[in-house]
């Protein structure tokens, strides 16, 4: 793994749920910042939260040590707690239902396995600069759909 840590702030947004959605990520490495964003016309907030993290991780060369911050407990708990049981049960929940967004969870797992990721939850809309910028990028992803 790389010696220098990468910091990622990732967020998703949706106008309506489902509805048009956007994802955004702020990546800091070696004192440099990179911003990523995009959107989809018909999606959900949870899918955009996942996509923000996926796109950020996939943009980096393998072997990075990453502190990843998200205001989505769905993403943070999903990757640090729930995924192990889902996989053990063949991508089923504890009540034997199919895991929602399994396509993105599997893509996220693959992207995360290429790195050493520490998953952190941060309270959304609480004035945290990195999270606020990721939120703005996610909304920019939606705005670009409407342009």
Mind listing the pLDDT tens digit for each residue in 72-116? 999 999 999 999 999 999 999 999 999 999 999 999 999 999 999
81 a catalytic residue: no
Which residue among 71, 78, 115, 141 is the active-site one?
71
Identify the domain containing residue 30 by its residue range.
5-146
Average pLDDT, the chain: 95
95 a catalytic residue: no
Give me the pLDDT at residue 2, please.
47
CA distance 45 to 71: 12
How far is CA 58 from its chain centroid?
A: 11
Nearest to 64 by CA among 95, 94, 34, 40: 34
12 a catalytic residue: yes
49 a catalytic residue: yes
CA distance 2 to 61: 10
Give me the pLDDT at residue 76, please.
97
Give me the pLDDT at residue 125, please.
82
Question: Using 50, 70 and 90 to split pLDDT, how confident is the model at 126?
Answer: confident
Could you tell me the pTM of the whole model?
0.95
CATH number of the domain bearing residue 121: 3.30.420.10
Give me the pLDDT at residue 1, please.
52
Task: Name the domain count of the chain.
Answer: 1
Tell me the pairing of strands 5-14 and 32-43. unpaired
Nearest to 4 by CA among 34, 32, 36: 32
Which residue among 31, 90, 95, 125 is the active-site one?
125
Bridge partners of 13? 22
Average pLDDT over residues 47-71: 98
Which residue among 39, 49, 115, 141 is the active-site one?
49
Ordered alpha helix ranges (H), 3-128: 45-58, 73-77, 83-88, 102-113
3 a catalytic residue: no
Average pLDDT over residues 24-42: 96
CA distance 42 to 18: 6
Question: Using 50, 70 and 90 to split pLDDT, how confident is the model at 3?
Answer: low
Give me the pLDDT at residue 147, please.
65
CA distance 84 to 103: 16
Which residue among 12, 38, 39, 78 is the active-site one?
12
Question: Using 50, 70 and 90 to split pLDDT, how confident is the model at 124?
Answer: confident
Q: How far is CA 90 from CA 46, 94, 131, in A?
A: 21, 11, 33
Give me the pLDDT at residue 99, please.
97
71 a catalytic residue: yes
């Amino acid at each position: 793994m790389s010696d220098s840590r990468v910091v990622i702030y990732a967020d998703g947004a949706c106008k309506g749920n489902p509805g048009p959605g956007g994802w955004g990520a702020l990546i800091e490495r070696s004192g440099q910042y990179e911003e990523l964003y995009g959107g989809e016309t018909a999606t959900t907030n949870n899918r955009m939260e996942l996509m923000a993290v996926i796109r950020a991780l996939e943009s980096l060369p393998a072997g990075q040590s990453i502190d990843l911050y998200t205001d989505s407990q769905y993403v943070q708990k999903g990757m640090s707690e729930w995924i192990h049981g889902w996989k053990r049960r063949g991508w089923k929940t504890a009540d034997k239902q199919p895991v929602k967004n399994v396509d993105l969870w599997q893509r996220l797992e693959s992207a995360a396995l290429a790195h050493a990721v520490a998953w952190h939850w941060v309270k959304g809309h609480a004035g945290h600069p990195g999270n606020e910028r990721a939120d703005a990028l996610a909304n920019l992803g939606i705005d670009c759909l409407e342009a």
